[in-house]
Amino acid sequence: MKRYKKKVLLPVAGMVVVAGLAACGGNNDESANASNNGTNSNGDLSEERMSVRIMAPSFAPDPVGNDSPALQAIEDYTNMDIELQFVANANYEDRFNVTLASGDLPEIIVAYKDASFISAAEDGAFWDVTDYLDDYENLSGANEVVLNNASINGRQYGIYRSRPLGRNAATINTQWLENLGLEMPTTIEEFHEVLRAFTYDDPNQSGQDDTYGMVVSEWEGPWDQMQVWFGTPNEWGENENGELEPDFMSDEYRDALAFFREMYEEGLVNEDFAIMDSGEWFDPFVSQQAGMVVDVADQANRLQNQITDDYSDDEIIVDVFGGVEGPNGLQIKPTTGYHGVLAISTTSVETEEELRRVLQFLNDLSDEEPQNLSYNGVEGVHHEVNEDGTVDITSQSEGGDLFDREVRDLNQFQVAIPEEKFKLPPQSALQQRADEVMEENMEYVVPNPAEPLVSNTYRERGSQLDNIIDDARIQYIVGQIDESGLDEAVERWLNSGGTEYMQEINEAYQEAQAAQ
Amino acid sequence: MAKNTTQALETNKISFWDKMKRDRWLYFLVLPGLIWFIVFKYVPMWGTLIAFQNYSPFLGFWGSEWVGFDHFERLFQNPDFFRVLRNTLILAFYETIFVFPAPIILALMLNEIRMTGYKRTIQTLVYMPNFLSWVIIASLTFVFFTTNGGVVNMIIEYFTGSTVNFLGDPNWFRTMIIGQQIWKDAGFGTIIFLAALTSVSKEQYEAAIVDGAGRFRRMWHVTLPAIRHVIIILLILRMGNFLDQGFQQIYLMTNALNRQVAEVFDVYIYFTGITQGAFSHSTAVGLFKGVVGIVLILGTRYIAKRLNQETLF
């Protein structure tokens, strides 16, 4: 063992030194270029434009073409020739696999951390960029928690596309609260009381029993969020021996489920939630039959918009809260903080020099000007800037598809690291409130220690394993099974590969901790 | 049939190549179909080989590692396997005894209607559901059967005071699936049987009437035997798809409460293979399904032959 270690250590040490030197050397050149680029949008003219192909999901029916003026402005700013390969979001996963199989990968490709991407990364399809990020002004400001989440066993195989970490929150009908003389709930007891009052105390003063507390659909997200309020770990938590255990093995999980079951028995949530299509999820809230929805903070604005189209600030009847205090104080389940990564192909980007060029490009994209270009388009063509620094996206508000054709999906290859710098349209009081809540949540979020860890068993049987536990939870809430049924489900989970999964996660966890 | 051809060959003494030459233009007409079959049905079959690999799209077919029967072993050792197999077999059995005869019964009933206009209208109406997609049928089912204000449950509640959770209760799942299939496909399935019924000569009915046979007797002794061969052929064809439950329908009707009985091979392949990128494993499951299909086809054919009925091949 010892001899083996020595043999390996020497070349590794050598490599580290070389890589370090290379990084330093590169760093000087690149930062010089970067400052050139930053101050002078013409860039370094002596350097020829490099062409990059970018594959990304699109949401517009007719995605941005390569002749878009906004794209051309981005090309000028970053000194790159960009060729966009948009794929409709619904087919993205399929196309990603097909592209992998074809062997002809674009230089930059949006990838989600699923089994295909993980195995491709392990097979060497993408650059491991972990050690490069610190050399770039914007990219070095990446959030540690998100980096960890986006990594595969601690290594970065792409630059994450950032999303707010504290995005989870509940939306509540404040008109009902006022009618009932209740305050915003802050503890689980108050939360329960509010739901009970929403169901039984006629919150809409119609004189009829036509309301209930909270609407849930077949999507299990809200339960995941709410159980963390009760102190359940976020998917994985350490037990007293310092080993990782899945959330459902904790006592808090059982407490949370008992509470949910009581909620269901009392009729505080819709009876048919387990079979309700998630597309219809918000309808009862919008039609003011249900008074609460547990989803994300920005949902509040969309719901209010559905209640009163194009609302003004005094028409707002909803409010947002991140969560309520449980036995361990306020705990909120964070999102992963990113949505896919921009992975760089090793087959199309062959040399380290080219890699640095691509990284520089992604770094520069996060400057304020290109961020504005990709979110708002070109000033005077797609948007106007108001006096207070907000923008009015004229190409969208005037109708027509100019914005869709020339701007909309350009933000799909925007990483927004370290933060979003683009100008926003004027925000309603509700949107500002939602932003505040997201900010506040950051203090209370519980990270998932196993997020970056990879298990082969989970890769093979993950959805089966997840289904066992998720189904049992729903069955318990609606009263189809009891405590012993939950125990059986855990038993079945362990026998179906859960034991191996836990083992693999713990091994990876120990390795990751030893590496730090 | 087979006997006749060999006899013909012997008596006419025409060799295979002479026949080919004589009918060359007919064979030429077959060519496009044949090519289509080879290119789109046979050539892709070699892809089945990834069932014996750990296929990774990036490494490709040639770069992926060969693992032999690993995926089959894993499949048979998986505790889910028997549950999925059981669900699939039970549902397939119900489909064969409830869904398969439905169009036959409907066709016989339609055949008894003597008013042409009325018959035509009914026929058109029962064809209709066939043109709806499963997504629409699943939504309609939800709207009608939900416990939150669905019409069916409102009626049940009015009479009994309690509701029935048709959509969530695992005991109702198979009934709902079979019911949907009959509603959607029975009408359209009658086309073939009605066509076969037109070939029954009036004389046979007249003879039966003279012999004093009532309506039911006529149906049993004249109509049914006349379409017997069509029924047998369709049954054999059906057997080949015995394990196909139609992914869409099951997927749309599955939820957390009924998954225990709802998970059949088609859905299982989707979850393990497509959503998790386990291409090799799902190919192995698909291959297993194919083998079962062949065994069932050959089995049905054998039984049909023993019962002295005609077969397809």
User: Mind listing the pLDDT tens digit for each residue in B232-272?
Assistant: 888 888 887 788 778 889 999 988 889 889 989 888 888 87
Query: For A26-40, A145-159, B117-131, which range has the lowest pLDDT when averaged over its residues?
Result: A26-40
Q: Residues A156, A224: one domain?
A: no
The mean of the pLDDT values for chain A is 87
Question: What distance in Å separates the CA atoms of residue A84 and residue A65, rounded to the nearest whole number?
Answer: 7
- Give the number of A-B residue pairs with CB atoms closer than 8 Å: 90
Q: Running DSSP on this structure, what letter comes out for residue A161?
A: E
For the segment A437-475, what is each residue's pLDDT rounded down to a tens digit? 999 999 999 999 999 999 988 888 888 899 899 999 999
State the Cα torsion A183-A184-A189-A195 to the nearest 10°. Answer: 100
Model confidence at A73, in pLDDT bands (50, 70, 90)? very high
Q: Output phi, psi for A194, to 5 deg.
A: -60, -45
Q: Residues A307, A435: one domain?
A: yes
Specify the pLDDT at position A45.
44
Q: Residues A100, A189: one domain?
A: no
In a domain, A227, yes or no: yes
Nearest Cα of chain B lies from the Cα of A463 at a distance, in angstroms, of: 7
Element (H, E) at A171: strand A168-173
Q: Residues A299, A440: one domain?
A: yes
Please check the confidence at residue A9 and state whether its pLDDT lies above 60.
Answer: no
In a domain, A219, yes or no: yes
Alpha carbon distances (Å) from B183 to A67, B143, B186, B188, B261: 52, 16, 6, 10, 21
Question: What distance in Å separates the CA atoms of residue A215 and residue A335, rounded to the nearest whole number?
Answer: 21
- Nearest CA to B173 among B58, B296, B297, B90? B90
Please check the confidence at residue A8 and state whether its pLDDT lies above 60.
Answer: no
Specify the pLDDT at position A91.
85
Query: For A226-240, A293-307, B144-158, which range has the lowest pLDDT when averaged over its residues?
Result: B144-158
Mutate to test the interface with A, among B55, B58, B152 (most CBs of A within 10 A): B58
Question: What distance in Å separates the CA atoms of residue A464 and residue B259, rounded to the nearest whole number?
Answer: 11
Element (H, E) at A392: strand A391-392
The mean of the pLDDT values for chain B is 85
Question: What distance in Å separates the CA atoms of residue A109 and residue A102, rounded to the nearest whole number?
Answer: 14
**B277/A97 Cβ within 8 A:** yes
Residue A85, beta-bridge partner list: A55
Specify the pLDDT at position A76.
93
* Closest CA in chain B for residue A480: B257
Which ipTM did the prediction report? 0.76
Query: For A63-67, A104-108, A323-327, which range has the lowest pLDDT when averaged over its residues?
Result: A63-67
Q: For the purposes of burial, counting CB atoms within 10 Å of the CB of A20, is it exposed (0-12), middle (13-18) or buried (19 or more)?
A: exposed
Q: Residues A180, A294: one domain?
A: yes
Please check the confidence at residue A19 and state whether its pLDDT lies above 80.
Answer: no
Tokens, residue A157: 């195989």
- Mapped onto helix, strand or coil, the DSSP state of residue B36 is helix
Specify the pLDDT at position A431.
94
Cα-to-chain-centroid distance, residue A228:
17
Q: Which residues contact A141 (CB under 8 A, 6 or more apart)?
A: A417, A418, A419
Question: What distance in Å separates the CA atoms of residue A7 and residue A1, rounded to the nearest whole number?
Answer: 10
**A496/B148 Cβ within 8 A:** no
In a domain, A245, yes or no: yes
Q: Residues A323, A212: one domain?
A: yes
Please check the confidence at residue A7 and state whether its pLDDT lies above 60.
Answer: no
From chain B, pick out residues whose CB is under 8 angstroms from the CB of A471.
256-257, 259-260
How much is the average pLDDT of A32-37?
Answer: 40
Domain with residue A298: its CATH number is 3.40.190.10
Model confidence at A12, in pLDDT bands (50, 70, 90)? very low
Percent of chain A's residues with pLDDT above 90: 65
Percent of chain A's residues with pLDDT above 70: 90
**A277/B257 Cβ within 8 A:** no
**B281/A275 Cβ within 8 A:** no
Nearest Cα of chain A lies from the Cα of B66 at a distance, in angstroms, of: 16
From chain B, pick out residues whose CB is under 8 angstroms from the CB of A496.
78-80
Nearest 5 degrees, angle CA B283-CA B289-CA B292? 145
Q: Residues A215, A172: one domain?
A: yes
Element (H, E) at A79: none
- In order, the DSSP letters of B111-148 are HH---HHHHHHHHHHHHGGGGS-HHHHHHHHHHHH-TT
How much is the average pLDDT of A242-248?
Answer: 94
Q: Residues A361, A439: one domain?
A: no
Q: How many domains does chain A have?
A: 3
Question: What distance in Å separates the CA atoms of residue B24 and residue A458, rounded to the nearest whole number?
Answer: 58
Domain that includes residue A138, residue range: 50-163+337-387+397-423
Element (H, E) at A319: strand A318-321
Q: Residues A439, A341: one domain?
A: no
- Counting as low any pLDDT under 70, the low residues of chain B are 1-13, 308-313
Question: What distance in Å separates the CA atoms of residue A55 and residue A413, rounded to the nearest whole number?
Answer: 8
Specify the pLDDT at position A47.
67
* Closest CA in chain B for residue A461: B272
Specify the pLDDT at position B311.
54
* Closest CA in chain A for residue B146: A272
Model confidence at A28, in pLDDT bands (50, 70, 90)? very low
Q: Residues A348, A248: one domain?
A: no
The percent of chain A in helix, strand and coil, each rounded to the nearest 5, is: 50, 15, 35
In a domain, A378, yes or no: yes
Q: Sign of the C-alpha dihedral, residues B145, B150, B151, B157?
A: positive
Q: Residues A91, A235: one domain?
A: no
- Mapped onto helix, strand or coil, the DSSP state of residue A67 is coil
Domains, chain B: 78-307 (1.10.3720.10)
Q: Residues A173, A298: one domain?
A: yes
Q: Cβ distance A291 to A173 under 8 Å?
A: yes
Residue type, B281: H
How much is the average pLDDT of A163-187?
Answer: 94
